[in-house]
Amino acid sequence: MLIMLFLIMLSLILALGFLLAFFWAVRTGQFDDDYTPSVRILLDDDQPKRDNQKD
Amino acid sequence: MVSKPTKEGKEKAITEPLVCAHCGESCPSDDITLGDKHFCCQGCKMVYEILNENDLCRYYELDEKAGVSLRGRRLEQYGYLDEPDIREQLLDFTDGQRSDVHFYLPQMHCASCIWLLENLYRLSEGIRRSTVNFPRKEVSITFDESKISLRQLAELLASIGYAPLIQLSDLKSEEEKRPVVDRRLYFQLGVAGFVFGNVMLLSFPEYLGLSGELVNPLFVSWVSWLNIALSTLVVFYSGRDYLRSAWVELKQGHLNIDAPISLGILALYGRSLYEILSHTGAGYLDSLAGLLFFLLVGKWFQQRTYYRLSFDRDYRSYFPIAASVREGDEERSLSANKLEPGMTVVLRHGELVPADGILLKGEALIDYSFVTGESEPVRKYTGDKLYAGGRQIGSTIEMTLTKKVSQSYLTSLWNESAFDKKQQSKTKFLADRIATYFTLTVLLLAGATLVYWLPRDLALAFNAFTAVLIVACPCAVALSVPFTFGNSLRKLAQRGFFLKNVHVLEQMSEITAIVFDKTGTLTSREEAEVHFHGQPLSLEEKILLYTLVNQSVHPVSKQIASWLLRAEEPGKMKALKIQQFRELTGMGLEGMVSGRQLHVGSQAFLRTVLGAQFAEGESEEGKSVYFSLDGHVRGYFSLNNRLRPHLEGILRKLKGRYALSLLSGDNERERVRFEQLFGAEATLRFRQKPKDKLAFVQKLQAEGHKVLMLGDGLNDAGALKQSDVGVVLADDTNNFTPASDGIMDARLFSLFPDFLPFARNNLRLVYAAYLLALLYNIIGLSFAMRAALTPVVAAILMPASSVSIVLFGVFSSNLLARHLFGRMEKQRFADPQKRRVKDRIDF
C-alpha cells in the first residue's frame, strides 16, 4: 500500500509543477493579452522589396 | 492614370475615382502624387514616403484599409514632452538611458497596425523594441534616450499616423505607476482547479466504496489529511473574496448573494472536517472544491471583455495635458495642473481653453458644443470671459487665466452630488435581492429539518441540518447572471453597444423613461443639412466654391465643403489654386479662383462687399450663407442641424412605450421640428444648462421613472451619472466620452429600440434559469431532509446543476440575440472582412 502513497505524492508533485507553471505564465503577463499574439505569429519578418524597385 | 484636367476638360471630366494609396479613401484632388500613386492629402503622402524609404510597405499588403487618413488632421503638438516633470510622470521606467513608456494609440485598428508598430525599430535606431497590446490599443516601447527623446518618439508615431493620446489623467506619480492589471482571479482560479482535480481523484476510492478491508486505514487517514490541507487552501485563498464580501455586508445588516454562498462553503467545510476528524465519513471536500471552481469560472467569464473602453472618465481625460504659456517673448509648455491664475496662455486652432480666463488678443471663435450643448460657435471679443473646455477655431489667440484648472466652471460640475453617490448603493441587484429570500428560506428549511429530526436521532439531525445547508447553496443562482448576462454583453458589443458591466443590463430592463440630448446626440456635431436656394450650381461653380471653403476651418465652411463632396461622385471634386484669399472672422470668405471673384458669407458681409448689387433673398429658419460669383449673388445656403439617420423610425418605435424627453442647450429655433418628431406627449426643453439637465433627470426619478439618458458631451455628464442608465452615443468610441454606463457606436444607432426589449428578455432568461436551479434544489433537498445526502449524490448533483445552468444561460441568450437582431457573422479584430461586415449591418 506504501507504493500507492508514493504514487499519489508523485502525481501531486507533478500537478503542483503544472500549477506553478500556470502561476509563472500569469505573473509574466501571458494572460493579459490573449489576442495580439494570435496575430503576431502570422506576421513574417521578411523584408519586402522597396516600392520603387518593384516598378 | 488621370492627367491633371485642363480647364476645358473639367466640365466633362468623368475621371475614375482616385483612391489614396495610403488610407484608401477617395482623393479630392489629383495633384498629390508619388510615382503612379495618388494621395488624398500631404499627410498620407508623407506616411507613405516614410514607410517606403524604410522598406515597410508590407504594411499595405497585410490588411486592406490599413492606413489611417490624415486629411483634416492637425499634427499634434508634443513640445510639452520635453518638460522634465511631464517626462518623468509618463515614463514607466528609466535608468537615465534606457527607458520604457507605453502610449495609447486610438488609431490602432488592424493586423497591419500591429505589424508596423512592432517594427518601429526599423524607423529609428533609438527604439529597441516595441510590443503591442491590441485589445488595449497600447504600445509599450523600450527606447534609448540618448538617441531619441520622448518627444521625438511621440512625433515619430504621429508622423506615421498613430498620434499618441496623452491626457492629464495619464500623469501619474511614482506610487500610482504600479500595474493596474488584477491577476488575482487567475491565481484563485488556478488553485481552485488544481485542488478540484486532485481532491476528486483522491476521493475516488470513497465513491467506489473501496473502504474496509481492501484499503489500509492508514492510507485512508493519510488521504483524508491531504484532502483537508488542499481544501483549506481553496476555501481561504480561492474563496476568500466571497467570505469577505458576505461578512462586510452582514455587518451592515444586508444579505447579498455571497451570503448563501459563504454559508454553503462553510457548511461543506465544517461538516467535512467533522466527519473526517471523527472518522464518521469522508466529507464533501470534492464538492466544495468543485463549487468554488465553477463560481470562479463564472466570475472570470463575467469579467472577460473583448473591448477596452473607459467608462469612468472625468474632466481630467478631456483636458489637454499641457498648454503653451507666454512669458515675455518666450513661449513654453507647462503641464495643465501647474497653470496658475495670471498666466498668459496661447491657444492655436483646435486647442482647448484649459481654465477660465479673459481674452487678451486675437479673434476668438469658441466652440462650446461639447461643454454646453450649443451648436453654434460663439464669437468672443477682447476682455470677454472664456470658459474652460471651449475649443478655439481659426486664428491664434491669447488669454489670461483667472482660475486654476481644478476650479473652473466646468470642473465644478464634478462636485455635484450625483458624482459622490456610489452607483452600487442605488439599487439592489437581482441576485442580491433574491439572496435575501434565498438565505432566509434555506435557514428556515434547515431549522425545520433540525426540529423534525432532533427528538428522533441526534446524529441524523445534525447530518440532515448540514446537508440542507450544503445542497441549497445557490451555486446555480450565482452562475446564471454571470453567464446569461455576460454572454449578452458580448452579443451587444458585437452590435456596437458596449456596457460597463452586467448590472447595467439588469437596470436597462426596468427603464420607463428615455431622455435625449440634442446636439451631438440626435443631431450631428459636424455635418449639417445643407440646401442651396437659387439656380442649381454647375460642376464648375461647385469646384470654385469648394476651393474657397476648403481654405477655412470654420464649421460652416466645413459643412458646405462636405456637402459639395457628398453631392458629387467621389473624385470629381477638387481644390484648385486660390489667390487673394481672405477670411473675415464673423463675416465670410473671399478669394480669386481661376480668375473669378468669389464671396461666401453672411447677408451683411455680401451687402458691404457688393453694395447696391445685392438683391434681398428671403431667409428661412436656420442659418443662411450667401454665395456670390464675380459680384453677382448666385443664391444662398440654408444650414440646419443634420439629424441622425433613422431617427424618425427609432422614435416611432419608442413612442408610447416609454416617456420620451429632449433636453437641449440650444435655443428654441428647432422646437417645431422636434415636436413633430417626438409627438405631443414628449417633453421638450431648450436652453438647458448642465445643472438643469441633472435636475430634470432627478425630477423624473422622483416621479417614479427609471431613466435612461442618451447624451454625448461633457454638458450631459451630470445627467448621465444621475440616470439609472447613462449611455453615450459616440461617433468614434476612442474619443473622449464622459462617465457613463454604456457607450453606443453612433453608426448602429438604429438598433437602439431593440436593445431595451433585449435586456428585458434577458432578465426573463435569468428567471427561467432560477426556476431550473429551484428544480435541482428541490431534488437535492428531498435527499438532504431525509438525511440521505451521500457524498456521491452531492458530487453528481452539484456539478450537474452548475453545468446545465451555464449551458442554458449561454445558449438561450445566443438564441435571443439571433432572434432579435438577426444572424450575424462573427467579427474578429483583424478580420479583413470586419469593415465589410460592419458596412453590411450599417444599413
**pLDDT value for B181:** 59
Q: Is the pLDDT of residue B733 over 80?
A: no
Number of domains forming the structure of chain B: 3
**Beta strands B513-517; B707-711: pairing state:** parallel
Q: Is residue B549 part of a domain?
A: yes
What pLDDT is attached to residue B563?
A: 82
Q: Residue B733 burial by CB count (10 A; 0-12/13-18/19+): exposed, middle or buried?
A: middle
Is residue B674, in this structure, part of any structural domain at all? no
Q: How many residues does chain A have?
A: 55
Is residue B569 assigned to a domain? Answer: yes
The answer to whether residue B145 sits within a structural domain is: yes
- Res. B9: pLDDT tops 50: no
SS3 readout for B283-297? CCHHHHHHHHHHHHH
Percent of chain B topping pLDDT 90:
7
Amino acid B824: pLDDT = 52
Looking at the structure of chain A, the number of domains it has is 1
pLDDT digits (tens, 9 = 90+) for B188-237: 999 999 999 999 888 877 777 665 555 667 777 788 888 899 999 999 99
pLDDT over 90 (residue B97): no
In a domain, A26, yes or no: yes
Average pLDDT value for residue range B499-521: 85
pLDDT digits (tens, 9 = 90+) for B279-313: 877 788 888 998 899 889 888 887 776 555 666 66
Nearest CA in chain A to B196: A15
Select from B609, B643, B677 the last residue of a domain: B643
Flag whether the ipTM exceeds 0.90. Answer: no
CA B109 to chain centre: 15
- In chain A, positions 6-45, which contact chain B (CB-CB < 8 Å)? 8, 11-12, 15-16, 18-19, 22-23, 26-27, 29, 31-33, 35-36, 39-40, 42-43
Q: How confident is the model at residue B316 (pLDDT cuts 50, 70, 90)?
A: low
Q: B709: closest CA among B701, B697, B698, B699?
A: B697
pLDDT the model gives residue A50: 46
Per the CB < 8 Å rule, is A39 touching B114?
A: yes
Asked if B183 and A47 come within 8 Å (Cβ–Cβ), the reply is no
CATH of the domain at B107: 3.30.70.100
* Assigned domain for B587 exists: yes
How far off is chain B from A20, nearest CA to CA, in Å? 9
Higher pLDDT, A44 or B449: B449
Whether residues A5 and B135 touch (CB distance < 8 A) is answered with no
Nearest by CB to B58, which of A8, A40, A48?
A48
pLDDT of residue B457: 82
Which carries the bigger pLDDT value, residue B237 or residue B712? B237
Are the beta carbons of A23 and B830 separated by less than 8 Å? no
For residue B787, pLDDT beyond 50: yes
Work out the percent of chain A whose per-residue pLDDT is above 70: 76
The rounded distance, in Å, linking the Cα atoms of B560 and B549 is: 7
Instruction: For residue B639, list its beta bridge partners.
Output: B530, B623
**Domain contains A22:** yes
Average pLDDT over residues B252-278: 87
Is B533 within 8 Å of B617 (Cβ atoms)? yes
The arithmetic mean of pLDDT across residues B179-187, rounded, is 76
Q: Looking at the domain assignment, is residue A53 inside a domain?
A: no
CATH of the domain at B369: 2.70.150.10
| Grid cell of B742 as nine digits | 454604456
pLDDT tens figures, B538-579 = 888 888 888 888 777 777 887 888 888 777 766 677 777 788
Average pLDDT, chain B: 79
Instruction: Specify if A15 maps to a domain.
Output: yes
C-alpha distance from A55 to closest chain B C-alpha (Å) = 9
Q: What percent of chain B has pLDDT over 70?
A: 82
CA dihedral sign, ordered B676, B678, B682, B683? negative
Would residue A30 count as lying in a domain? Answer: yes
What's the domain range around B587? 524-643
Cβ(B359)–Cβ(B381) below 8 Å: yes
In a domain, B579, yes or no: yes
Residue B32 is predicted with a pLDDT of: 73
On whether residue A18 sits in a domain, the answer given is yes
Position A7 in a domain? yes
- Choosing from B111, B141, B166, the residue where a domain stops is B166
Residue-number span of the structural domain to which A22 is assigned = 2-41
Answer yes or no: is pLDDT of B441 > 70. Answer: yes
Highest mean pLDDT: which range of A9-13, B107-111, B541-545, B614-618 = A9-13
Q: For residue B3, what pLDDT is reported?
A: 43
Scanning the structure block, which residue is given the C-alpha cell 450625483? B418
Contact B183 A50 (CB under 8 A): no
Q: Given pLDDT bands bounded at 50, 70 and 90, which one contains residue B179?
A: low
**pLDDT, tens digit (0-9, with 9 covering 90-100), for A21-37:** 999 999 888 887 777 88
Q: Considering the domain boundaries, does residue B335 fall inside one?
A: yes
| The predicted structure's pLDDT at residue B270 | 92
Q: What is the mean pLDDT of residues B633-651?
A: 82
Task: In whole angstroms, give the CA distance from residue B278 to residue B275.
Answer: 5
- Residues B581-594 as b or e (16 or more Cβ within 10 Å = b): eebeeebbbbbbbe
Q: Which residue has better confidence, B216 or B269? A: B269
Last residue of one domain, picked from the residues B643, B669, B691: B643
Q: How far apart are CA B596 and CA B545, in angstroms?
A: 11
Higher pLDDT, B662 or B716: B662
- The maximal CA–CA distance of chain A, rounded, in angstroms, is 78
Lowest mean pLDDT among B177-181, B369-373, B419-423: B419-423
